[in-house]
Amino acid sequence: MKYFIHLTYIIIIACTTLTSRAMTPEEARAAYAAGDYAEAVATLRAIADKEPRNTSANTMAGIALLRTGNTLSAQKYLQKGTNDAKIALAEICFFDYDFDGADEWLEKYSAAQKKARKPESDEAEALRSRIETGRAMLDRVEKIIITDSITVPRDDFFKAYRLASSAGRITGASSLPPGIEAASPSSVFVTENSGTVIWSAPDENENFVLMQSSRLADDSWEQPEPLGDVLNEGGDANFPFLMSDGVTLYFANDGENSLGGYDIFISRNNGERYLQPQNIGMPYNSPFDDYMLAIDEETGIGWWATDRNRIEDSVTIYRFIPQELRINYPVDTKGLTQYAKVANYRHTWTDGADYSTLNKKVDNLRQYNPEKKADFHFGMPDGSVRTSVESFHSAQARALIKDYLREKNNLDSIYATLDRLRKKYASGDTSVGSDIIAYEKSVETAQVHLSELRNLIVNAENYKN
């Protein structure tokens, strides 16, 4: 499972003290083999400096430097490395959008492998495919206006999004119904009326898949269902956002059609199922992780998050003005790669335009505060949702809802006990079998009582005093 950052560009600060013992060459090589590059890099670099003609030492030092974010220093060693080092050099070009340069390094690698009568590595073939994807995307860079950018801590980054209530909201896993598993890291999309939630959860193979559940008339939640295998793309699907039309879905995926890490995709529902998703390309996507695209039609502002700027433990969130019709930069546009990278978002601005008013309008939107939750959610037949005792107009309904909530808490307690008993039974303790049967009957009784109370509440509210 990927943590939506390429290890290639995680910036790791290795802290040492005066009492720290330097690694031996054997320990450094073992740490390198285990992927502990930050631990090994200093010793491996010292070995390569001491043995400048040792191609293996230079390769290990270069890759350790590359994996700890020291790209420029890495190149010096990789250029004196083994033939496999050419793949890493191609990777460096790829991350800089120099796809021709990446191809050249792979061609040199391929020629050397062929001369030595050795097969090419899977890593080289995968990188070659990503280079072709990147080159195709660079021919179709969308011309958008990015009004602002902010850098925020990676954890709970979605709290920086400011969306009008009509767009729904983006929250954490705590907003899911009790007992529902969520991917980590992830976010949860909740529709405007709080009636539907979409999130990502691990499947039986520990791959992340998009799930959905809707609130039923009795205030319970339907059994979560996957949105469709077509969205999986052979990778992890995550960070969903459903447009207010209820049809258009944006989400992130790191599968075979991704340029690198998470890319943002779009899919639409035809009334029966979601259709084959499409990668939305550049500048939204990059060789790094890009995700959580949201479009607020009320404010006219879109958002997406990215770690392309490689700021430790942080992500960059861009605000942009969505277009009804996609317009791409001409392929011969001067500085096209810089627009694709979003090297400077202000370069996307129209001459003389002032976006401060638009940004201020968004800034003034109240952030959704998960600490200020509704007391409960009680769905009415007309589609409205009551969230507090005071939201009922009928005095009788206000009294009945208290009974309903007590009964619902009792049912939740029964479910929790039943879950524990079933786990004990599954582990071999068959003595709890009779208890399970008794609690299952209690569930049936409580459900009937809840249904009766619900009908009384609805009738009282429809014919309020």
Tell me: the pLDDT tens digits for 247-261?
A: 999 999 999 999 989
pLDDT band at 79 (very low <50, low <70, confident <90, very high): very high
My answer on whether 85 and 48 are in the same domain is yes
**Distances from the Cα of 377 to the Cα of 171, 202, 219, 344, 390, angstroms:** 17, 27, 7, 44, 13
With 60 as the cut, is the pLDDT of residue 46 above it?
Answer: yes
Rounded to an integer, the average pLDDT of 230-250 is: 95
Rounded to an integer, the average pLDDT of 410-436 is: 87
With 70 as the cut, is the pLDDT of residue 369 above it?
Answer: no
**Site of tokens 């010793």:** 43
Could you tell me which residue, 270 or 418, shows the higher pLDDT? 270
My answer on whether 192 and 236 are in the same domain is yes
Per-residue pLDDT at 21: 56
List, for residues 271-312, the tens digit of each pLDDT value. 899 999 999 999 999 999 999 999 999 999 999 999 998 887
What CATH number does the domain containing 50 carry?
A: 1.25.40.10
Per-residue pLDDT at 448: 86
- In the chain, what percentage of residues exceed pLDDT 70? 92
Q: Classify residue 323: in a domain, yes or no.
A: yes
My answer on whether 293 and 414 are in the same domain is no
Tally of domains within the chain: 3
Per-residue pLDDT at 18: 33
**Which phi and psi angles does 450 have, rounded to 5°?**
-60, -40
Per-residue pLDDT at 451: 86
- Evaluate whether 202 touches 183 at the Cβ level (below 8 Å): yes
Per-residue pLDDT at 426: 82
Range from 189-198, 241-250, 369-378 carrying the lowest mean pLDDT: 369-378
Per-residue pLDDT at 167: 95
Range from 4-13, 47-56, 208-217 carrying the lowest mean pLDDT: 4-13
With 60 as the cut, is the pLDDT of residue 371 above it?
Answer: no
Q: Classify residue 167: in a domain, yes or no.
A: yes
Q: Which of 144-153, 396-405, 450-459 is most confident?
A: 144-153
My answer on whether 300 and 410 are in the same domain is no
Range from 15-24, 119-128, 244-253, 391-400 carrying the lowest mean pLDDT: 15-24
**Which range of residues forms the domain containing residue 249?**
145-363
Please, which residues bridge with residue 212 across strands?
198, 225
Contacts of 274 (CB under 8 A, 6+ apart): 227, 228, 230, 231, 249, 267, 268
Domain termination residue (choose one: 107, 138, 169):
138
Could you tell me which residue, 223 or 263, shows the higher pLDDT? 263
pLDDT band at 205 (very low <50, low <70, confident <90, very high): confident
CA atoms of 79 and 109, how far apart (whole Å): 12
Per-residue pLDDT at 367: 54
Range from 33-47, 121-135, 306-320, 378-392 carrying the lowest mean pLDDT: 378-392
Q: Classify residue 368: in a domain, yes or no.
A: no
Q: Classify residue 310: in a domain, yes or no.
A: yes
Q: Classify residue 283: in a domain, yes or no.
A: yes
My answer on whether 293 and 196 are in the same domain is yes
With 70 as the cut, is the pLDDT of residue 20 above it?
Answer: no
Identify the three-state secondary structure at position 170.
Answer: strand
Per-residue pLDDT at 444: 86
Per-residue pLDDT at 22: 73
My answer on whether 181 and 285 are in the same domain is yes
Per-residue pLDDT at 373: 56
Burial class (CB in 10 A: 0-12, 13-18, 19+), 417: middle
With 80 as the cut, is the pLDDT of residue 13 above it?
Answer: no
Instruction: Round the average pLDDT of the chain to a whole number and report it.
Output: 89
**Residue 199 in tokens:** 């999130």
Rounded to an integer, the average pLDDT of 24-37 is: 94
With 50 as the cut, is the pLDDT of residue 3 above it?
Answer: no
Rounded to an integer, the average pLDDT of 137-153 is: 96
My answer on whether 272 and 312 are in the same domain is yes
With 70 as the cut, is the pLDDT of residue 1 above it?
Answer: no
My answer on whether 275 and 226 are in the same domain is yes
Q: What is the pTM of this model?
A: 0.74
Domain termination residue (choose one: 138, 161, 188):
138
Q: Classify residue 372: in a domain, yes or no.
A: no
With 60 as the cut, is the pLDDT of residue 85 above it?
Answer: yes
With 90 as the cut, is the pLDDT of residue 387 above it?
Answer: no
Q: Choose among 70, 107, 74, 68: nearest CA to 88.
A: 74
CA atoms of 292 and 308, how far apart (whole Å): 14
Could you tell me which residue, 16 or 287, shows the higher pLDDT? 287
**Which phi and psi angles does 148 have, rounded to 5°?**
-165, 165
**Distances from the Cα of 370 to the Cα of 170, 374, 375, angstroms:** 10, 9, 12
Could you tell me which residue, 394 or 265, shows the higher pLDDT? 265
CA atoms of 122 and 281, how far apart (whole Å): 25
My answer on whether 129 and 217 are in the same domain is no
With 80 as the cut, is the pLDDT of residue 374 above it?
Answer: no
- Evaluate whether 188 touches 170 at the Cβ level (below 8 Å): yes
Q: Classify residue 371: in a domain, yes or no.
A: no
Q: Which helix (H) or strand (E) holds 411?
A: helix 395-426
pLDDT band at 322 (very low <50, low <70, confident <90, very high): very high
Q: Classify residue 1: in a domain, yes or no.
A: no
My answer on whether 25 and 96 are in the same domain is yes
Domain termination residue (choose one: 337, 363, 389):
363
Q: Choose among 373, 416, 446, 385: nearest CA to 176.
A: 373
My answer on whether 357 and 231 are in the same domain is yes
With 70 as the cut, is the pLDDT of residue 464 above it?
Answer: no
Per-residue pLDDT at 282: 98
Could you tell me which residue, 2 or 374, shows the higher pLDDT? 374
**Sign for the pseudo-dihedral over CA of 27, 31, 36, 38:** positive
Could you tell me which residue, 197 or 380, shows the higher pLDDT? 197
My answer on whether 118 and 151 are in the same domain is no
